[in-house]
Amino acid sequence: MKAVSRIFRALADPTRRQILQELKVGELAAGEIVSRFTISGPSISRHLSILKSADLVSERRDGNRILYRLEPEKMASAVGDFLSAVCPTQVLHRRKASKEKKGASS
């Protein structure tokens, strides 16, 4: 449960959500991320640290650069689990619709 709480805390901040949007297209170096925002490099570094601790991004070294990459599976799993717990009937409706769609295409 602590991991899910970290994910939702990380997603609560608009700057962190924007960083995730930027990473959607692929890996970016820390400096490239900083250049896309009007806030300081240390602030972006702190946001990246929070996203990393929530396992929403990962990093790798390439020479003297640190490249960040989105980890969408972790986010999708946490949000999906939350939604299925809060809206279980919606999950049943989606499953039923999916089965009906598969049956119609067979």
Q: Considering only CA atoms, which of 79, 81, 75 is closest in space to residue 54?
A: 75
Residue 71, amino acid = E
- Number of structural domains the chain divides into: 1
| pLDDT, tens digit, 9 for 90 and up, residues 31-52 | 999 999 999 999 999 999 999 9
Residue 94 structural domain? 2-105
Least confident of 9-13, 33-37, 48-52, 92-96: 92-96
What angle, 0 to 180 degrees and rounded to 10, lies between the N-to-C axes of helices 2-11 and 14-23?
90
Give the strand order in the sheet containing 57-62.
28-29, 65-70, 57-62
The pLDDT assigned to 94 comes to 66
pLDDT computed for residue 99 by the predictor:
73
What CATH number is attached to the domain comprising 39? Answer: 1.10.10.10
pLDDT of the residue at 51: 97
With bands split at pLDDT 50, 70 and 90, how would you rate the model's confidence at 54?
Answer: very high
